[in-house]
Amino acid sequence: MYDIKLGQGCGIKATMLTPAGGVCDLRRARYIAASLVLPSGATMNCEDIAFNEVTNGVYVRLLGTRELTTTGQYGIVFNVKLEDKTMYSTPVVWFAEVKEDAPTGYHELTLSLSLTVVNFPDNVSYTGASPKISDKNTWLVYDDDLNAYVDTGIEVGYANLLSRYDGKFAEIVVPCTEATNAAAAATVAANNAAAAANSAAGSASAATAAANTAAGKANTATTAANNAATAANTATGKANEAATAANNAAESAQRVVDTYDDVINTLAHSDCTLDERVEALEKALIAVLSGAVVIPKLQIKELNVWGNNSLALVGDSAPTKAPDRAGQFYIDKTARALYFSTGNAAVSDWKIQ
Is residue 302 included in any domain, yes or no? Answer: no
pLDDT, residue 74, reads 96
Is residue 37 included in any domain, yes or no? Answer: yes
Secondary structure percentages of the chain, helix, strand, coil, to 5: 35, 30, 35
pLDDT, residue 346, reads 95
Q: How many domains does the chain have?
A: 2
Q: How far apart are CA 306 and CA 304, in angstroms?
A: 7
Q: What secondary structure does DSSP assign to 302-344, as a single string?
A: --BSSTT-BSEEEESSS--S--SSTT-EEEETTTTEEEEES-S
Domain that holds residue 26: 2-174
pLDDT, residue 85, reads 61
Among 154, 174, 194, residue at a domain's last position: 174
Residue from 350, 353, 330 nearest 341 by CA: 350
Among 130, 155, 174, residue at a domain's last position: 174
SS3 assignment, position 175: coil
Within 10 Å of residue 111's Cβ, how many Cβ atoms? 22
- Asked if residue 167 and residue 316 are part of one domain, the reply reads no
- Asked if residue 153 and residue 7 are part of one domain, the reply reads yes
Distances (CA, A) of 30 to 89, 108, 233, 328: 14, 26, 97, 173
pLDDT, residue 241, reads 87
Residues in the chain predicted with pLDDT less than 70, given as ranges, are 83-86, 118-131, 156-184, 256-257, 260, 263, 267, 270-271, 274, 278, 285, 288-291, 298, 300-308
pLDDT, residue 182, reads 64
What is the pTM for the complete model shown?
0.38
Contact 92, 37 (CB under 8 A): yes
DSSP state of 169: B
Is residue 224 included in any domain, yes or no? Answer: no
User: Residue 170 belongs to a domain with what CATH number?
Assistant: 2.60.40.10
Is residue 86 included in any domain, yes or no? Answer: yes
Among 150, 174, 198, residue at a domain's last position: 174
Q: How far apart are the first and last CA of the chain?
A: 167
φ, ψ for residue 140, nearest 5 deg: -110, 130
Element (H, E) at 196: helix 176-290
Is residue 13 included in any domain, yes or no? Answer: yes
pLDDT, residue 228, reads 81
Pairing of strands 93-99, 2-5: parallel
Distances (CA, A) of 168 to 160, 161, 174: 11, 9, 18
Is residue 57 included in any domain, yes or no? Answer: yes
